[in-house]
Structure 1
């Protein structure tokens, strides 16, 4: 009880400190007067300072056949754009860096992963303000990563792909189709594909610093409502627009066609947020979302609490 009381006190102190005045020295170029945030206490420090989680830019790549560090069941984010060679961005790296600024087939992209929400989204970095490069603020809102662009120092909500503080407030990034699958699944389909090489940083790549997180009772630094319908806060859901399909329903069915999309599930991908070694995580399977013409559809595989936090009026696709 003493430890619980201390944690509650620390959380309260964090909420009280969440005011723009506290951040201006670190963010002198951010226009805090322009924002869509109505309650600043929603923004909390996740621990690391600005760029304490170092985003990557212009990473190097290897041919899939030449990669030796990645184990077969490890998750990767797959990006396939036009005629460009398919690329895999291993979660063993993104769990430590969260953002990769890259260019694929002439399209400037930001491949993002928020471990606390299990949210993996790829954005087009082109906006009306020009091409942006993204970093990690070290701040969280509803436990989701708050990004920033280096051109205007506006803050962006990763789950929404939308600027929420600063000059570009209200601007929304275009979401590009990408998906999480196992390394084995990627290279079986793309033997000549590319995989991001290990970054030149001193990190214990392949380990999971969030061991046991996706079976915890509560999300980290989240004080919002639980999802409805008795759904566990840390249940994975497939979000397409403002709809969410529980992963448990998809794994039972194998494939579901609803609301204009077909969502398929296949075994073979390890959870990145389970075991101390990512490759040893339990099998959660892989998802692919396509439209009626067989084209890949932009989606996210996120935790249920995050879907409810950012889409409180969203539709839960429970099959009832």
Structure 2
């Protein structure tokens, strides 16, 4: 436990050093890229977002509100310091991207990446980079977005950001990253994706962010599916050794990322049905929450369950080693055979594209999901 805290505290020096580096580079602002030396080439700056000019209003929100484990003020009361101060872990605000061939020089086949396919854009964000930044403010297919990663809860998620950008508040709840938007200073816990009071915004309206799917997979799997992908470059503008993960390693899984190890800080709840950091694929709507152990979905390929009283079906995508969750109110019958999902009507579908409403789902450590969604159904 002590070693883990020390690792997180080490990230403070990363942020401090980066600010000093940016100051030496002229009036670019913290997070500007293209100044630190890098062997990644060629680069492109197609994700630029200048926080000094972009922060005009709060981020866009969805029509409904996602569930909270308690009222928003109580969540704020449970927020703790993670060690680094506000922006001590610096978001990437001017991301640069390289070709798959250039990225392959630094990525091993089993290294985790967070994949994003949106419109005509296909991008990958290596875990080895985002572990030091947690937020990448980008523009994807013309839409301003933020790709976010919390190493303490194992959650990679995407959000629309509108005219503002997100930063790292330095606070955690249930070990999970609390983001803040630079327009209104509202706090947004990443997994909850819902506004809670912060020191600069005591009474935000209860609203939830617009999300999109970010796929947690490996470099080998992603580039096999998307050979044209662009990849977040190590040329971030920050002095950081991206070969050194302060928490451990995912390839192989060691240190903080081992399933049986304890969370860094006390979680909101404990549940011995699974080891604390066993990975589940979770989905939630305003009506409730659903989780399936990822190993169980790998084995079963198709899992039927309920989310807030509505039947759902979860499917496994073997090519990307990920899962998808669909609402199935009419309990339509599906079977999984040879990588395809077969309907009772004779139609066949890829696992990500059933003729049902798909619910946003993502990988999470069990302790984190259980703490945020105590009424969740679990299929293991």
TM-score normalized by structure 1?
0.76
1:100 aligns with 2:127: no
- Return 5+ residue gaps in structure 1 as ranges: 8-34, 268-284
**2:83 corresponds to:** 47
Q: Is the 8 A contact 1:262 1:292 kept in 2?
A: no
What SS class does the counterpart of residue 214 from structure 1 fall into?
A: coil
**1:287 corresponds to:** 322
Alpha-carbon deviations, 1:192-221, whole Å to 9, x = none?
A: 221111122121203221121122532111
**2:300 corresponds to:** 253
What SS class does the counterpart of residue 152 from structure 1 fall into?
A: coil
**2:110 corresponds to:** 73
The 2-side partners of 1:106 and 1:39 are apart by 34
The 2-side partners of 1:296 and 1:191 are apart by 25
In the TM superposition, residue 59 of structure 1 has moved relative to its aligned partner by: 0.5
| Residue 296 to residue 39, structure 1, CA distance change in 2 (3 Å) | closer
| Residue 177 to residue 294, structure 1, CA distance change in 2 (3 Å) | farther
**1:153 corresponds to:** 185
In the TM superposition, residue 123 of structure 1 has moved relative to its aligned partner by: 0.8
Q: How many residues were matched structurally?
A: 264
Alpha-carbon deviations, 1:80-105, whole Å to 9, x = none?
A: 112x2211011111111000111111
The 2-side partners of 1:261 and 1:309 are apart by 23
**1:162 corresponds to:** 194
| Residue 65 to residue 223, structure 1, CA distance change in 2 (3 Å) | closer
Q: Is the 8 A contact 1:37 1:164 kept in 2?
A: yes
From 120, 145, 155, the equivalent of 2:156 is: 120
**2:315 corresponds to:** 263
1:233 aligns with 2:276: yes
In the TM superposition, residue 183 of structure 1 has moved relative to its aligned partner by: 0.9
More off after superposition, 208-217 vs 286-295? 286-295
**2:268 corresponds to:** 224
**1:210 corresponds to:** 247
Q: Is the 8 A contact 2:76 2:196 kept in 1?
A: no
TM-score normalized by structure 2?
0.64
What SS class does the counterpart of residue 163 from structure 1 fall into?
A: coil
What SS class does the counterpart of residue 97 from structure 1 fall into?
A: coil
More off after superposition, 59-68 vs 72-81? 59-68
| Residue 220 to residue 111, structure 1, CA distance change in 2 (3 Å) | same
Larger Rg: 2
The 2-side partners of 1:197 and 1:294 are apart by 36
In the TM superposition, residue 296 of structure 1 has moved relative to its aligned partner by: 6.8
1:140 aligns with 2:177: no
Which aligned runs of 4 or more in structure 1 are off by greater than 4 angstroms?
A: 294-297
In the TM superposition, residue 306 of structure 1 has moved relative to its aligned partner by: 0.8
**1:193 corresponds to:** 229
- Return 5+ residue gaps in structure 2 as ranges: 6-70, 249-254, 306-310, 325-351
